[in-house]
Amino acid sequence: MKILDITIYYHKKSGGIKKYIDKKIETLERYQDIKHVVIIPGKENKTYNKNKSVIYEINSIPIPGTGGYRFFKNIKSVNKIIENENPDIIEFGGCYALIPLIKIKKQICSIFYHSDLINDTNLFPAPKQLKELFLGYIIENVFKKSDIIITPSQKYRNILLEMEIKNVKTIELGIDTNIFKPKEKKTNFWEKFGINNNKIKLLYVGRIALDKNIKLLIETLKNLNEQKFHLIIVGSGPLSSWVKIKANKVKNLTYIGHIEDENLLAEIYCHADIFVSASHYETFALTFLEAQSCGLPVVAFDLGLQTQFKKEFLVKEINSKALAEGIIKASQKISRELSQELYQKTKELFSWERTFR
Q: What is the 3-state secondary structure (H, E, C) of 155-223?
A: HHHHHHHHCCCCCEEECCCCCCCCCCCCCCCCCCHHHHHCCCCCCEEEEEECCCCHHHCHHHHHHHHHH
The DSSP output letter for 57 is E
CATH architecture, domain 2-170: 3-Layer(aba) Sandwich (3.40)
Assess contact for 160 and 149: CB atoms under 8 A.
Answer: yes
Q: How far apart are CA 132 and CA 245, in angstroms?
A: 36
What are the strands, taking DSSP E only, across 12-147?
A: 35-42, 46-50, 53-62, 70-72, 89-93, 108-112
Output the CA torsion 127→133→135→141 (10° steps). -160
Pairing relationship of beta strands 168-170 and 148-151 according to DSSP bridges: parallel
- Specify the pLDDT at position 96: 86
Assess contact for 346 and 308: CB atoms under 8 A.
Answer: no
41 burial (CB, 10 Å; 0-12 / 13-18 / 19+) is buried
Query: Rounded to two decimals, what is the model's pTM?
Result: 0.93
Q: Residue-wise pLDDT tens for the chain (357 aa)? A: 999 999 999 988 878 899 999 999 999 999 999 999 999 999 999 999 999 999 999 999 998 887 788 999 999 999 999 999 999 999 999 888 888 889 888 899 999 999 898 988 888 888 989 999 999 999 998 998 899 999 999 999 999 999 999 899 999 999 999 999 999 999 899 999 999 999 999 999 999 999 999 999 999 999 999 999 999 999 999 999 999 999 999 999 999 999 999 999 999 999 999 999 999 999 999 999 999 999 999 999 999 999 999 999 999 999 999 999 999 999 999 999 999 999 999 999 999 999 998
Q: In CATH, what number does 189-351 get?
A: 3.40.50.2000
| Domain residue ranges in the chain | 2-170, 189-351
- Specify the pLDDT at position 212: 95
Same fold across 2-170 and 189-351: yes
